[in-house]
Amino acid sequence: MPWYKDKIFWTIFVGAAFIKTLALLCLIHAPLGEQVLVFPDSLGYVYPAQTFLTYGHFWEAVTATPLLLRTPGYPLFLALVQFLTGNMTWAVAAAQNLLSLFLLIPVYLATLHVSNRTAARYSAGFCAASVLYFSLSFAVLSEIWCLFLLAWFVQISLRWLEDRRGQNLFLAVLFLVAAVYVRPVAYYFVFVGTLLLGIMAWREKSRLILKQTVCYFVLPAVILLGAWHVRNFWTTGYSGFTTVAAYNLYIWNEDFVAREKGLTVAQAHDELINALPEDFYQRTPLQQVKTYRQLAKPLLKKSWRYKLSRVPLWAAKTLLGTNHVHTLRLILARADEPKNTLNQTEALPRPWLNSLWERMIFVLSLLQVLGVVIGGFSGLWILLKKRPQAALFLTAYVCYFWGISSTFLGTYARFRAPFEFVLCITAGIAIATWTENRSHPKNA
């Protein structure tokens, strides 16, 4: 049976669509209004989108300087939504909820490549029930668009492992590069992917894989990503893909500064921004990058022991975080400063666990996350025995995004977004295997 004739899948899809539509209608008429969608980072995407629509160029927030801190993928998405609908708030939320719905398709198909239809249904169900994806769909932030592209990259990569057709590898790298343009956190996975393909070519002694790696993966990635490098150098003299790495190297010390000075993370962030030289924004991008690195160096020397001690907590928060404060804003219309909503760096969001409803929402969200994580890693182990190449690829993918998001700072649940759908895939495999074993015990 073709996948698109699976009535159970479409039941999951329609059920999720109904819930999302109802939530969107309720939020439109909720007391917080558009404020529920907006965060401090949102302006960094909205302003470049507006300047692109008006002037044909992406500019940094509230300036006329070329876009460097952000990349153009999400502003382009916002500009398209604005162009088609004349709105850049509720229309964006509607578009992102549609993306989160259609995310179920690559998740379902990816599971079919490595398992069976029952597992694919479970995987789609896990993904549809994601509290994290539900909440991020109602935020003018780049996560949903990025993970949608990454899901197709993973699905097509798994298909390539089956058929080894060069066009599939080429299509996969197109989706990966598009995701990089949306969120640069995916940038270095191009190198990880190249390494994995090289190891595969070496182990199988396959010239075909080696040729495909060079012609269909490496060269397209270099050309497509190199285009933005060239644009940056041509317009600003800075040859990097983005200045966000230098910015984060400095700003991501906010957790340490907050601890040392008894501040909130938001206050520490403001202090670090205020510590920049008065003429900082008049300097060239290359000078700004050097300034970030110079200011970060003494902070990193002071904080490296603290950072190492916090990595287990940060890794746990990335993996198990519920995005609780934002979820409360959506469900209970609780008004809080947007900068406090996603920047929770402690083990538990204690200020947002006062009422019975707040605790119930937290517990239910945590149970959903725990189910995906436990099932996801169990499924990876099961898959390793049946489809080792696919399992190693998915494990490398999860470890890359989990690892890169669990260092330098008190991390946030939303950094799990790029790999939670993979855990949904493997959780579906685990549940399907468990139910099959119960139905057909080995000693029967």
What is the model's pLDDT at position 340? 57
Closest CA to 189 of 420, 399, 392, 389: 399
pLDDT tens per residue across span 164-189 = 999 999 999 999 999 999 999 999 99
pLDDT tens per residue across span 352-391 = 888 999 999 999 999 999 999 999 999 999 999 999 999 9
Closest CA to 229 of 214, 243, 209, 250: 243
- For residue 414, what are its two tokens? 């939303």
Closest CA to 362 of 383, 381, 347: 347
pLDDT tens per residue across span 59-92 = 998 888 899 999 999 999 999 999 999 999 999 9
Distance CA 254, CA 268 (A): 5
- pLDDT tier, 138 (very low <50, low <70, confident <90, very high otherwise): very high
Percent of the chain residues topping a pLDDT of 90: 74
What is the model's pLDDT at position 345? 62
Number of H helices and E strands in the chain, helices first, is 21, 0
> Within a 10 A sphere around the Cβ of 385, how many other Cβ atoms?
8
Q: Please, which residues bridge with residue 66 across strands?
A: 59
Average pLDDT over all residues of the chain: 92
What is the model's pLDDT at position 339? 55
DSSP letter (8 states) at residue 67: P
Distance CA 186, CA 405 (A): 11
What is the model's pLDDT at position 444? 45
Distance CA 177, CA 174 (A): 5
